[in-house]
Structure 1
Amino acid sequence: MRFSAVQHTENENRIRAAMDRLLRGEIPPGGKCDIKTLANEAAVDRTAFYGTRPYSHLRVEFEQCLNAMHQAGEIPDPREAQIVRLKAENTKLRERLAQSEQTVDELSDFRGHALARLAAQHEEIVHLRQTAAAASRVVRLPAARSSTTVIGSCS
């Protein structure tokens, strides 16, 4: 079906108006900031935007504007912005989780080494006490039974 010059101009005007709305973030319910929604909003067949069709230059222009906005950090589609935000938050939380797991591993290793050192020190203390007790000439006095003081002699 052939369009007259007037119809072609009217379609281009509708497409440009729809492009402006979509790029400002005025996304219709159930739509996205994409060619399909652009075609629906402009009441133009989507295939007219591809190949050598009459509005392919408008598709290229729309995609360039959309890419420029993305590079500038602007995302006109609220759902897409939410997805980007949630992905960034997910990445950040995964990094925090990995850091926490690493800290837990390091602390577990430290605890294991500390317990091993304490056990070795305890063994050394027990060994030194046994050695001192065996080599000592000091006689240990029995514990006091009453309030009287026991005086022992030294040999």
Structure 2
Amino acid sequence: MGRISDSGRARNEEAIRVAMDRLLRGELPPGGKCDLKTLALESGVTRTGFYPKKNRDGTTRPGPYQHLAEEFERRIAALQRAGEIVDPRAAQIERLKAQVAELKDRVAKRDEAMAELTAFKTVALSRLAAQHEEITRLREQTAALGNVRRLPAARGGTTP
């Protein structure tokens, strides 16, 4: 690939800055994130321009748009420190994580309540069974003695 002219580089830098502003406002393309890959796609430049290059002798030199990549990352970090989430997908992930934590808490509380209710049910059933056995035993005992007489049932809803 040949060298780019100064006017071409200026046009590319302007396109990168416009795309950068758009991404930082949260105007992301479908399936895109607030990252260098999306910035390169939106500005129409190759992503390799954002990274350092190696000379033939092994030394490194900055990429033609590396200063813009660093500026982009600084601006993202500043927005994040300010509590603003630029990437709607990241905001959705954070919202869903909070929702999952809240739902886990609710499920744990419901499990605890169900365990308490199950224990109460077990105790209540065993008490009812014991009371039924006691009533049955007392009825058999009174029937065996024969000296207990049944009272007539109350008539028509009048109470003594």
Q: TM-score, normalised by structure 2?
A: 0.67
Q: How many pairs does the alignment contain?
A: 142
Q: Rg bigger for which structure?
A: 1
Matching of residue 61 in structure 1 with residue 62 in structure 2: no
1:74 is aligned to 84
Structure 1 runs, 4 residues or longer, greater than 6 Å off: none
Q: 2:18 aligns to what SS in structure 1?
A: helix
1:96 is aligned to 106
Deviations along 1:50-70, one digit per CA (max 9) or x if unpaired, are: 233222232222123223333
Q: Answer yes or no: is the 8 Å Cα contact 2:142–2:148 preserved in 1.
A: no
Counterparts of 1:142 and 1:88 in 2: how far apart (Å)? 67
Unaligned ranges ≥5, structure 2: 53-61, 153-160
Q: 1:109 aligns to what SS in structure 2?
A: helix
What is the correspondence of 1:112-123 to structure 2 with a 5 Å cutoff? Answer: 112-123=122-133
Counterparts of 1:8 and 1:22 in 2: how far apart (Å)? 21
What is the correspondence of 1:2-151 to structure 2 with a 5 Å cutoff? Answer: 2-51=3-52, 52-124=62-134, 129=138, 133=142, 139-141=147-149
Deviation, 1:92, is 2.0
Of 8-17 and 20-29, deviating more is: 8-17
Unaligned ranges ≥5, structure 1: 145-155
Counterparts of 1:142 and 1:84 in 2: how far apart (Å)? 73
Deviation, 1:35, is 1.1
Counterparts of 1:36 and 1:143 in 2: how far apart (Å)? 93
Alignment root-mean-square deviation, CA = 3.2
- Counting aligned pairs with the same residue, the percent is 51
Deviations along 1:93-143, one digit per CA (max 9) or x if unpaired, are: 23222221221122111211222233344445555x379759x7x823477
